[in-house]
Chain A
Amino acid sequence: MKTTPDPAAAQPMRLAPIVTPDAKFFWDAADRGELVGQRCGACQRFRFPPRPMCPHCHSLEREVVPLSGRGRVYSWIRPVHPQPFGFAEPPIVALIELAEGFRIVSNLVGIAFEDVRAELPVAVEFEATQGGHRVPVFRPVSAS
Chain B
Amino acid sequence: MTRRLRQAAVAGIGATEFSKNSGRSELQLAAECSKAALDDAGLHPADVDGMITFTLDGSDEINLARCLGVKDLAYTTRIPGGGAAAAATLYQAMAVVEAGLCEVVLIWRAMNERSQYRFGQPHTQAAGFQAGNGTGSLFWCMPFGAQTPASWEALAAQRYMQRYGVTNEDFGRVSVVQRRHAATNPAAWFYRKPITLEEHQSSKWIVAPVLRLLDCCQESDGGVALVVTSLSRARDLKQPPVRIAGACQSIPYNVEVISNYYHADLATMPEAEGTARRLWAQTGLKPADMQCAMIYDAFTPQVFKQLEAFGFCGRGEAREFVKDGHIALGGRLPINTNGGLIGEAYIHGMNNIAEGVRQVRGTSVNPVPDVEHVLVSSGMAAAVLAKDR
Interface residues of A (CB under 8 A from B): 14-18, 20, 23, 48-49, 55, 74-82, 84-87, 90-91, 93-95, 102-107, 113, 118, 129, 135, 137
Contacts and interface: CB of A to CB of B under 8 A. Distances in A.
Interface of B: 120-122, 124, 126, 129, 136, 138-148, 150-151, 154-156, 158-159, 162, 204-210, 213, 253, 259, 261-262, 266
B139 A20 contact: yes
Nearest to B127: A18
Contacts of A113: 208
Contact of A85 (B124, B207, B253, B266): B124
Contact of B122 (A77, A82, A94): A82
A135 B143 contact: yes
Given A49-B136, A77-B154, A84 B122 contact: yes
Nearest to B206: A81
Contact of B142 (A15, A75, A77, A94): A15
B161 to A, nearest CB: 9
B189 to A, nearest CB: 20
Contacts, number: 112
A17 B129 CA distance: 13
A24 to B, nearest CB: 11
13 contacts: A16-B143, A23-B139, A49-B136, A49-B139, A49-B262, A55-B253, A74-B159, A79-B145, A81-B206, A82-B120, A87-B145, A93-B146, A105-B155
A43 to B, nearest CB: 16
Given A18-B138, A102-B262, A105-B140, A75 B147 contact: no
Contacts of B146: 77, 79, 84, 93, 105
A87 B151 CA distance: 15
B144 A105 contact: yes
Given A75-B266, A105-B146, 11 more contacts: A77-B154, A77-B158, A78-B209, A80-B208, A81-B213, A90-B145, A95-B266, A105-B141, A106-B144, A113-B208, A135-B144
